[in-house]
Amino acid sequence: MTKKLLLREIAHSRSGEKGRDSNISVIAYDPKNYALIEETVTIDAVSKLFRPISKGRIRRYEVPNVHALNFVIEDVLEGGRTRTLAFDESGKALSSLMLSMEVTVPDDLMSQFEKNLRRANQ
C-alpha cells in the first residue's frame, strides 16, 4: 500500500540564484529516504511544478554523498535577479514550491513520518 504526502515531510530544500538560473536542492531528512527521493523527484515531476515559470531546461544532479539532489531551473527569474519584474526577485522562495510536490510513499514510511511529526509538534 502507498500514500501521498508532500515532499516537505521527507526533505528540506534551499534555493539560490546564479545569473538567470535558480538552483534548488532537495535533501532527505533521513538518508534512508534518499533512494525514494531519487526515484520520485524526477525531472518530469519537477517540470510539472516549474514549467509555468521556467523558460529553459531543468537539470538534475545527484549528490548521494549528502543524500541530496540539486536541480538547476534555467531562466526561471524572467532574465535573472538584475532584470526581473518578479516580486521575489532572487527566487529564494522557490524552495517552498519544490517542497509542495506531492510524492507517493510506502505506507510504512508514512507511519514513521507521522511519528516524527508528532515528535516535532510536541
Partner 1 sequence: MKKIRLGSATAWSRDRFEPASELLERGNIDYLCFDSMSEVTMSIAQAQKLDDANRPGYDPYLVPRMARVLKECKRKGVRIITNSGWLDPIGAAERIVELAQELGITKLRVAAVVGGILTDRIADMGLTFIENGEPISKSREQIVTGEVYQGAGGIIEALKQGADVVITTRVGDACLYLGPLAYEFGWDLNDYHKVAKGMVVGHLVECGSQVSGGCFADPGYKDVPDLARIGNPIAEVDEEGRVIISKVPDSGGVVSVDTCIEQLLYEVQDPANYFCPDVVVDFTKVTFQQTSDNEVEVIANQAGKPRTPTLKALIGLSEGYLAEELVLFAGPGALSRAEATRELLLERFKIIGLQPQEIRWDYLGINSVHREATPVSEEVPYEIVLRVAIKTRTRREAELLGIEVDPLAVNGISGIGKWGTHSPGSRIRPIVGLNSSLVPREEVPYEVVIREVEFV
Binding stretches for partner 1 (CB under 8 A): 8, 12-14, 16-21, 23, 25, 27, 29, 49-53, 59, 61, 63-68, 70, 72, 78-83, 85-88, 92-94, 96-97, 100, 117, 120-121
- Residue 99, classed as helix, strand or coil, is helix
Nearer to partner 1, 36 or 113 (CB): 113
Nearer to partner 1, 1 or 122 (CB): 122
**Amino acid sitting at position 98:** M
What is the CA 89 to chain-centroid distance, rounded? 19
Q: How far is the CB of 1 from partner 1 (least distance, A)?
A: 25
Across 7-112, where does the E strand assignment appear?
Answer: 11-12, 15-18, 21-28, 58-63, 68-73, 102-106
What is the CA 67 to chain-centroid distance, rounded? 13
Q: How far is the CB of 107 from partner 1 (least distance, A)?
A: 21
Three cell numbers written together for 78: 524572467
Nearer to partner 1, 3 or 30 (CB): 30
**Residues written for the chain:** 122
Q: How far is the CB of 42 from partner 1 (least distance, A)?
A: 17
